Structure 1
């Protein structure tokens, strides 16, 4: 939307990427922030939450509850909440009062999100976990015996 004059981008404190210009706390920034936060954070959290809730229900019906469905939503919130908090702080107060070192923590934590996702999904899946173990140790892990509850 900055192309049509709604919101602005600037370099982040590390000067490696562009991000929202948090130094502008004017009405234009605030009216851009609210819809962006709803679309980028709120809708994403709701989709992940309801998707994993339905997956968890399906696993409970089959009796194969092996994956903690709350872990992906926790990692999403852990990685992206600092960015959202910083953006809302910038809407309320002058973000330039915060040190640049403190302001660069939010983008750094957000950039770790793909790395956390790799660990959550790879180590949360028994097939991947067994393959990783075999790759590093050369030993095979026997798959756990699944009881058939429908007999």
Structure 2
């Protein structure tokens, strides 16, 4: 019985100093509602939001995968990476969002300490694969359009290798807390689990793990995205300038510029709050903060399961038309005019 774990409970969760009492078991997020952390309405609103992320995120990512399987014309090297992104999003929505929905509805993590570790690991794994997949998409666009390697052709085998790369790096990032470098515990309102940003316990070396994640899983992918998309925009602007009389080229340059801005903003909305919050906690040990606010970064990262497909899949006309055909809402023959125009523009880029 969990109620008989006694003094083992502090190893499984963290309690703010202001809430610490002699009867620590009574505050366990695995045993009782965490009403001391927020109002009932807050928990139910979060449960509704997580239910939305679970249903919409699961649906759109399953549809992305099924659509690619059904339509051969979608099996391009770029779409392999988008499917990899969909699989990662599916992992987060089915495990992270669903578990959080149930826990917010009951106002505590009803599944227990072991499930907390599993959910924290799976959600972190999916999140890291998603994050690195965004960087790989940017890298692929840079290779194909800017042609830094000359006549190098990015083939499906290269895309598969890139997908494997995202999972290897994600495992490197998400496995350590299972083996003693940091740990997975309830976070925010204690209804979802993630790495321990909060404590200074030298046993877990949490500070070094947070810095590792920030550098390895945020700074490097973000720098990759910024560099690749900056080079892409420069190439397209040069092409548009060289073809100033071409209306289609000018239109393509504007469309791609807008898409790049949306992609970068989507990345920042997803990961900047989480990274910033973790760094703030590490560098301001002992400073009080509202756990309701600490829940926001986790929710924004889980929300990426919805807005990543919207940005990377639904804005692709070819993907969108095939999806509409699958659900009986239109034909599936419309091609991605933006992608074709970008290809046309890139022909005048570096050879």
Asked if Structure 1 and Structure 2 have the same fold, meaning a TM-score greater than 0.5 normalized by the shorter chain, the answer is yes
**C-alpha contact (below 8 Å) 1:8/1:21 kept by paired residues:** yes
Give 2:196's match in structure 1, choosing from 6, 9, 21. 21
**Bigger shift: 97-106 or 64-73?**
64-73
Shift of 1:128: 4.0
**C-alpha contact (below 8 Å) 2:188/2:292 kept by paired residues:** yes
Give 1:92's match in structure 2, choosing from 283, 301, 305. 283
Check 1:141–1:33 CA distance in 2 against 1; reply closer, same or farther (3 A cut).
closer
**C-alpha contact (below 8 Å) 1:12/1:104 kept by paired residues:** yes
Q: Which residue of 2 aligns with 1:34?
A: 211
Inter-partner Cα distance in structure 1 for 2:231 and 2:305: 23
Pair member with larger Rg: 2
Q: Which residue of 2 aligns with 1:50?
A: 227
Shift of 1:22: 2.4
- Superposed CA deviations along residues 61-112 of structure 1, whole A, max 9, x for unmatched, are 3733232212211111111111112101211224772222111111001101
TM-score between both structures, scaled by the size of structure 2: 0.36
Shift of 1:53: 3.2
Which segments of 5 or more consecutive residues in structure 2 lack a partner in the other structure?
A: 1-175, 241-248
Inter-partner Cα distance in structure 1 for 2:278 and 2:286: 9
Q: Which residue of 1 aligns with 2:32?
A: none
- Larger fraction in helix: 2
Shift of 1:4: 4.3
Inter-partner Cα distance in structure 1 for 2:288 and 2:324: 48
Number of residue pairs matched? 149
**Bigger shift: 97-106 or 86-95?**
86-95
1:1-150 paired onto structure 2 within 5 Å = 1-25=176-200, 28-57=205-234, 59-60=236-237, 61=239, 63=249, 64-65=252-253, 66-67=255-256, 68-94=259-285, 97-129=288-320, 138=330
Check 1:13–1:96 CA distance in 2 against 1; reply closer, same or farther (3 A cut).
farther
- Superposed CA deviations along residues 39-58 of structure 1, whole A, max 9, x for unmatched, are 01011112222333344355
Inter-partner Cα distance in structure 1 for 2:178 and 2:334: 54
TM-score between both structures, scaled by the size of structure 1: 0.73
